[in-house]
Amino acid sequence: MIFVGICDDEEAYRMQIRTICKDFFDAQKQEFRFVEFSSGEEVLAYRGDKIHLLFLDIEMPGTDGLEVLTKVRRNDRFWRIVFVTSHKELRWETIDLKTLAFLEKPLDRVGVESCIKTVIRENRENIDISYKTLQGIGHVRLDRIISVQARGNYVNICFEQEEIPGYDSIKTIEGQTEGTTMIRTHKSYLANLQYVKKVNGDGLLMTNGTVVPVGRKYLASVKEAYHSFLRNVTIDRIR
């Protein structure tokens, strides 16, 4: 199930996006749902189910699209955002982990469909990670994990504002995340590239302010993985 949100103060554009999306999902026999917003304020007030793909107009009366991005960066209800505008000079202001694309008005079917295909693929790759707890087996989505730290016979799984223990080895977690945005940075650490803010000489500054150590033997591969991630997941998305 893909949940699509459409925010534009002009009903005609909301209808156009809705029609293109519906035609695509129907043709692919893909389950979907829609929710529409006519203002940035309505988006910020939303308390419903997780929206996988939000088409967001930049220029709107009151709270504009860029202000919305600033306020939902750490909001799990909005997963990926496609900015829609007639002003291409605003393109670089939309770069963010949540930003999937930048589409110029008037919209074309190919651009919208490309965004849908990407979010379906990325949602499929956002795998469930399992870990042992004292009560049994816990599960968490990959895109919620900032880092994993080995602590003796267990690991600390770190999120935006909390940590939880998992009674597994770090190799067990690494085995589940091979080929994803979770990479080994140190004999005792894994880090999720989705949350790296800056690469320092001997560590990664994460978006929650923590620093994940980078061992000397891992430094070259970490830098290569990070720059590849920036090219493929952030900058290339909005070209």
pLDDT digit string, tens, across residues 104-136: 988 999 999 999 998 998 898 899 999 999 999
Query: Which pLDDT value is given to residue 153?
Result: 84
Contact assessment for residue 6 and residue 46, using Cβ atoms and an 8 Å cutoff? no
**Is the same domain home to 102 and 145?**
no
Work out how many domains the chain is built from and give that number: 2
Residues of the chain with pLDDT under 70: 233-239
**Is the same domain home to 119 and 6?**
yes
Question: Which CATH number fits the domain that encloses residue 111?
Answer: 3.40.50.2300
Query: Which pLDDT value is given to residue 81?
Result: 95
**Is the same domain home to 24 and 105?**
yes
**Is the same domain home to 100 and 120?**
yes
Query: Which pLDDT value is given to residue 239?
Result: 46
Q: Which of 125, 147, 175 is the last residue of a domain?
A: 125
Q: Which domain holds residue 166?
A: 128-235
**Is the same domain home to 183 and 226?**
yes
Query: Which pLDDT value is given to residue 233?
Result: 66
**Is the same domain home to 219 and 152?**
yes
pTM over 0.85: no
CA of 64: how far to CAs of 54, 111, 227, in Å?
14, 22, 30
**Is the same domain home to 90 and 171?**
no
**pLDDT tens-digit series, residues 66-90:** 999 999 987 889 999 999 988 777 7
> First CA to last CA across the chain, in angstroms?
27
Question: Which CATH number fits the domain that encloses residue 177?
Answer: 2.40.50.1020
**Is the same domain home to 68 and 109?**
yes
Own/partner long-range contacts of 215-221 (Cβ < 8 Å, ≥24 apart) = 215/185, 215/186, 215/187, 218/184, 218/185, 218/186, 221/183
- From edge to edge, which strands make up the β-sheet containing 196-199? 196-199, 203-206, 211-213
Query: Which pLDDT value is given to residue 237?
Result: 52
**Is the same domain home to 114 and 154?**
no
**Is the same domain home to 7 and 107?**
yes
**Is the same domain home to 103 and 163?**
no
Name 171's Cβ contacts closer than 8 Å, sequence gap at least 6.
none
**Is the same domain home to 15 and 90?**
yes
Query: Which pLDDT value is given to residue 99?
Result: 87
Query: Which pLDDT value is given to residue 100?
Result: 87
Distance CA 157, CA 174 (A): 12
Q: Which of 125, 149, 168 is the last residue of a domain?
A: 125
Q: Which of 76, 92, 125 is the last residue of a domain?
A: 125
